[in-house]
Amino acid sequence: MPTEIVFETHSWSEDNDRGIATGWLPGRLSPRGRALAAELGQRRRDDGIAAVFTSDLRRAAETADIAFSGTPIPVLHDWRLRECNYGHRNGMPAAELHENRDRYLDEPYPGGESWRQAVHRVGRFLDDLPLLWAHQRILVIGHVATRWTLDHRINGVRLEDLINADFAWREGWEYRIADPRDRQDETLPTQTSAG
């Protein structure tokens, strides 16, 4: 059985209301966002989720706390799930920031990171996932960089295609990853017993 990953974005934030690209700033949920987080919990509490992994940025952590409060499902914070670090541009108007987003596919934002660096960072989380959570269904709450990593690493979508596509919100995305330990290496000789 593969490891199943359900991805949900953090709920609507006050910065979303204002059209701000929060980046590595904490942000916080708006009243609408808190209501959406509660809906996320109702949608996913009985969905076979073994654990919730969330970005440690406030807007994502707050989403997880509201959604899974009072449940036995562990909520684990991981900084690697953060949004792309826009550096000196964290907190600027989103429309202005994303005008030339493809420029920053490989070139870091001033004082920050590139999108490819962000995807590499989130990818390290995926590499570690099978250590304790293989063959289970987990929920990840994150950002655009988190979803792009899942699409790129698991579905093979090129970053060049993702960076120019609109991010269309929906109620979750699902991914499956095989545990590399489940694959049998056909090049290894079979063991025989001497008798």
What residues are annotated to the active site? 10, 83
Give DSSP secondary structure letters for 24-51: TS---B-HHHHHHHHHHHHHHTTTT--E
- The sign one gets for the Cα dihedral 167, 169, 172, 173 is negative
**Cα(27)–Cα(80) distance, integer angstroms:** 17
Q: For residues 191 and 15, is the Cβ–Cβ distance under 8 A?
A: no
Cβ neighbours, 10 Å, residue 126: 19
Q: Which residues are annotated as a binding site for substrate?
A: 22-23, 59, 83-86
Q: Which residues are annotated as a binding site?
A: 22-23, 59, 83-86
